[in-house]
Amino acid sequence: MRHQPELEQASRKLLKQLEQQLAQRVQQLDRSGDAHYVKGNVEQASDLWSEALELQPDNRPIQDKLLRAKRVLDNLRELRR
C-alpha cells in the first residue's frame, strides 16, 4: 500500500483540526456560561456548562462550575418553599 503514509498523515491532520474545534467550542460554552452566571442567569449557565461537559467530560474546572451552579439552584429552590 503506497498511499498508507499519506492517508495516516491526512487522518492525523483531520483529527488535530477536530480536536482544536472541539476545544474552541468548549471554551465558547464555558465563557458564555460564565457570562450568564455573573448576570444571575444560573440556570442558563448550568445548561451551557452541561453541554460543554458532554463534549469534554473530564474538564475539571467546568465540572466545578456546574456543581456550584447546581448548589445555587438547589438553594434557590429551598428558599422559594
Residues in the chain, overall count:
81
DSSP state of 2: T
Count the domains in the chain.
1
For 59, the grid coordinates are 474538564
What pLDDT, on the 0 to 100 scale, is given for residue 1?
A: 54
The residue ranking higher by pLDDT, 8 or 3, is: 8
pTM of the predicted protein model = 0.86
What are 32-63's pLDDT values in tens digits?
A: 999 999 999 999 999 999 999 999 999 999 99
What pLDDT, on the 0 to 100 scale, is given for residue 3?
A: 73
| Proportion of the chain above pLDDT 90, given as a percent | 88
What are 4-40's pLDDT values in tens digits?
A: 889 999 999 999 999 999 999 999 999 999 999 999 9
Residue 40 lies in domain: 4-80
DSSP calls for 10-79: HHHHHHHHHHHHHHHHHHHHHHHHHHHHHTT-HHHHHHHHHHHHHH-TT-HHHHHHHHHHHHHHHHHHHH
Find the CATH number of the domain harbouring 70: 1.25.40.10
